[in-house]
Amino acid sequence: MPAVTAVERSATPVDVAAIPALRRRTSAVLIASQILGGLGVATGIALAVVLAEEVSGAESLSGLAPTATVVGTAVLSMPLAALMTARGRRPGLVLAYLIGALGAGVVVIAATVGSFPLLLAGMAMFGAASSANLQARFAAADLAEPDRRARAISNVVWATTIGAVLGPNIAAPAGRSVTGLGIPAAAGPFLWAAGVFVVSAVLVAVLLRPDPLLTARALSPAEQRSPQARSLRAGVGAVAASPRARLALGTVAVCHTAMVSIMSMTPIELDHHGAGIDLIGFVISCHIAGMYAFSPLMGRLSDRLGRLSGIGLAVGLLACAALLAGTADGHHVQTTVGLFLLGLGWSAGMVSGSALLTDSVPQPARAAAQGLSDLLMNAAAGIGGAAAGLVIARASYGWLNLLAACLLLPLAALMVLTGRGRRTVAAGS
């Protein structure tokens, strides 16, 4: 008889008839927490570069603040995944939001005392909130029916739109609200973000019950409930053993890296061609709309046409985006269209890749495999973002887009090989 943990012994017995209502409740809670979490991240990150420059006194060091956040998100992905693997989604999400709140508080303290190393430490902890937002999409898939997983994921991704749009717009009022407290205005958004993350943690702790991951496990075969079947090693092994899971990880990592690399350097390219702050903000807003606003459409396409078709769509959109943005040469409308398509391609890749990963590994190993996905995604994007600056300095924005497009070639080849392998297996059976 397989070992059963104390968490599973204390879990509420599953009423199969109540699963549809539980799915709706879980989705509603995750969407609400995603709106709040996205709001907190976007509010804080809006002035992170400005704050880093003020504290460090050097413009050249300002980019280390968002980089520290990306590093923190990547480093914390696996420990949080390990906690979720052992205890369920709720403890992991709650802890991630609380670490993010603590990190935001550390940033405020660092800004007040003028400590740049402390600021970077706080920004790394702040990245835990981004980890929570990323893991929420997988929590939505825990109880989803297999043919609706992409839609469940996409609905949670879509919820980020609200926070991503509102966050930068409340950064200025948040800054003004703390000036009488002796806190630098650029640190005000982080104080607000800390409060938002605490509310998110409370929301998840109180309302995400029963835990969707533990409930999904209770519905799985008894032989899959052993601790060995859901260890981090089992998660890595499940990915290594599945070509489709490897394709899923590659999709998420490549799409995210291509998007971050191009997007992060676009404001500089626009500025070099005479664009003002308003136009740059509009272009980035169009990009964000492409990333999040159309994710439900991407989820439906992935469920209806298949995961590989969704990944193929992502590759095509990202390639078109790189072509348009890389050859714009000061034509701002073309750059805007390119950045919008860049967001759409990211959305298609993120939704289809996340759904494919969930489909391709056994249920007990999913949390570990999903944590590995977020680790690789953020690590690759961190490297890509840093390399993008070097490419711009040594070559040009056009070369950056060409190199980003080249990243898509091995992904496209892997997609074709995976599709052929699946057809061969199907024909043989």
Lowest-pLDDT range, 152-156, 275-279, 300-304, 319-323? Answer: 275-279
Angle at 51 (CA atoms; ends 47, 55), nearest 5 degrees: 175
φ, ψ (nearest 5 deg) of residue 411? -65, -45
pLDDT tens, residue by residue, 167-187: 777 877 888 888 888 888 889
In which band, very low, low, confident or very high, does the pLDDT at 161 lie, cut at 50, 70 and 90?
confident
Task: Determine the average pLDDT of the residues in 31-48.
Answer: 86
Task: Determine the average pLDDT of the residues in 186-208.
Answer: 94
pLDDT for 4 equals 45
Task: Determine the average pLDDT of the residues in 1-29.
Answer: 68
pLDDT for 49 equals 74
pLDDT tens, residue by residue, 71-122: 899 889 889 988 998 899 999 999 999 999 999 999 999 999 999 999 999 9
pLDDT for 423 equals 60
Task: Determine the average pLDDT of the residues in 218-228.
Answer: 62
Mean of the per-residue pLDDT values for the chain?
87
- Give the residue with greater pLDDT, 123 vs 8: 123
pLDDT for 14 equals 62
Residue 8 has pLDDT above 70, yes or no: no
Tally of CA atoms within 13 A in the half-sphere of 111 that contains its CB: 32
pLDDT for 86 equals 86
Q: Rounded distance, CA 50 to CA 59, Å? A: 9
φ, ψ (nearest 5 deg) of residue 143? -105, 0
Q: Which residue intervals of 57-148 are DSSP H helices? A: 64-87, 89-113, 116-141
In which band, very low, low, confident or very high, does the pLDDT at 422 lie, cut at 50, 70 and 90?
low
- Give the residue with greater pLDDT, 167 vs 125: 125
pLDDT for 387 equals 85
Residue 429 has pLDDT above 60, yes or no: no
Lowest-pLDDT range, 83-97, 260-274, 328-342? Answer: 260-274
pLDDT for 277 equals 65
- Residue 348 structure tokens: 């298609």
Compute the CA torsion angle 111, 113, 118, 119 (nearest 10 deg): 10
In whole angstroms, how far apart are CA 155 and each of 17, 29, 274, 306, 318? 23, 12, 37, 18, 22
pLDDT for 300 equals 95
* pLDDT-above-90 percentage for the chain: 49
Lowest-pLDDT range, 29-38, 187-196, 213-222, 417-426? Answer: 417-426
Q: Rounded distance, CA 307 to CA 356, Å? A: 6
In which band, very low, low, confident or very high, does the pLDDT at 225 lie, cut at 50, 70 and 90?
low
pLDDT for 1 equals 37
Question: Smallest Cα–Cα separation from 39: which of 244, 187, 150, 198?
Answer: 198
pLDDT for 327 equals 94
The DSSP-derived string for 11-50 is: SPPP-GGGHHHHHHHHHHHHHHHHHHHHHHHHHHHTTHHH
Count CB-CB contacts under 10 A for residue 213.
24
pLDDT for 228 equals 54
